[in-house]
Amino acid sequence: MTSIAFIKGYHLPLIHKHWLFLVLMLSAITINSQESIASKLGYPADARLLIIHADDLGVAHSENAASIKAIEDGVVNSASVMMPTPWVLEVAEYAKAHPETHDFGLHLVLTSEWKNYRWGPVASIDKVPTLINEHGYFHAGCKPEASLEEVEVELRAQIDRAFAMGLVPTHLDSHMGCLMQSPELIEVYLRMGQEYKLPVMVSKAFPEELIKKYNVKVVLEEIVMILPKQFNEGLAAYYNEAIKNLKPGVTTILIHTAYDNDELKAMTIDHPEFGSAWRQKDYDYFTSEECKELLEKENIKLVTWRQLKEAYFSDK
């Protein structure tokens, strides 16, 4: 597997045409904030810190159940929740029952990507016409041309609903990377974090001028996500290499944990990439002894967005 170049693509599972754009964004901008993050969390400056982050909570019962199991029994230690999805209350119930131990952020959603299983905005559909299709669902793919005002209305509606449901998010991130499709969208994304006093999932690959403009203090070293080519070449080998090659600083690995059952097979029909069997394999790896032992052997320290939020956004 040594020939595989790591593509630290952001979370864009479905819109393949956007990958190139993101890979191009992953240029080597140097921002010397990582040492201070490690120190601020109480680790040596060269510590290799990792967030193992399950995306897409709320999307299906299968995804919720497997992700919570992978958090409780595996090494997954963080996740983010899609507020417009049908099963989000199941996650909110879990979060309220485990107020201190979970690390759930909001996976801000502008898409509804599955063929026969859809959802629409949290905001009133009258208010966000550029975000929806003819049936009132979100579009299947990112729409960089959507109204920025409507994007902001919808993101505020999602964040406000989370708090109203008793979810207290530890961070914000972006489903399918839709909020990374233009500098203007990145600005909306960063502004949400600033206003709601929440860390936003950004890495050194983001535009330096925006990181400075919004005074973003929590900047990840890298955001790692397996892509179809690596998946086909071997998931465990990819993750093993990714873990061995972690750099000092905070990295996050974005994964999608679910059970490969009837519900998830139907949800991901006609879409093997990031599909049902894929998600089961993510679950299997991140609940395996192999992964756990590798993290110990490599002396990787698991940290959470909750720790980062408390370190940088606490009033203390």
Residues contributing to the site for its own copies (CB under 8 A): 60-62, 65, 86-87, 89-90, 93, 115-119, 122, 124-127, 134-136, 161, 164-165, 259, 261-263, 266-267
User: CB-wise, 42 or 166, nearer to its own copies?
Assistant: 166
Q: How far is the CB of 296 from its own copies (least distance, A)?
A: 32
Query: Of 140 and 294, which CB lies nearer to its own copies in the complex structure?
Result: 140
Min dist. Cβ of residue 212 to its own copies (A): 37
Residue 186 · residue 180 · CB < 8 Å: yes
Alpha-carbon gap, residue 279 to 259, rounded angstroms: 7
Residues 6+ apart with CB under 8 A from 198: 105, 169, 170, 171, 172, 192, 309, 313
- In the chain, the amino acid numbered 235 is L
Q: Which residue has the tokens 């709320």?
A: 58
Evaluate whether 201 touches 224 at the Cβ level (below 8 Å): no
Q: What minimum distance in Å lies between the beta carbon of 274 and its own copies?
A: 18
In the complex with its own copies, which residue's Cβ is closer, 259 or 274? 259
Q: Based on CB atoms, which residue is closest to its own copies, 138 or 305?
A: 138
* DSSP conformational letter for 220: B
User: Distance between CA atoms of 273 and 228, rounded to whole angstroms?
Assistant: 6
* Least Å from the CB of residue 71 to its own copies: 17
Cβ 36 to its own copies shortest distance, Å: 39
- 25 burial level (CB within 10 Å; 0-12, 13-18, 19+): middle
What region, left, alpha or beta, does residue 215 occupy, with left being phi > 0 and alpha being psi -120 to 50 degrees? left
Q: How many CA atoms does the CB half-sphere of 118 hold within 13 Å?
A: 17
Question: How far apart (Å, rounded) are the C-alpha atoms in residues 86 and 58?
Answer: 7
Q: Which residues are CB-contacts of 187 (< 8 A; sequence separation ≥ 6)? A: 210, 213, 214
Q: Pick the closer one to its own copies by CB: 52 or 106.
A: 106
CB of 126 to its own copies, least distance (A): 4
Shortest distance in whole angstroms from residue 237 CB to its own copies: 30
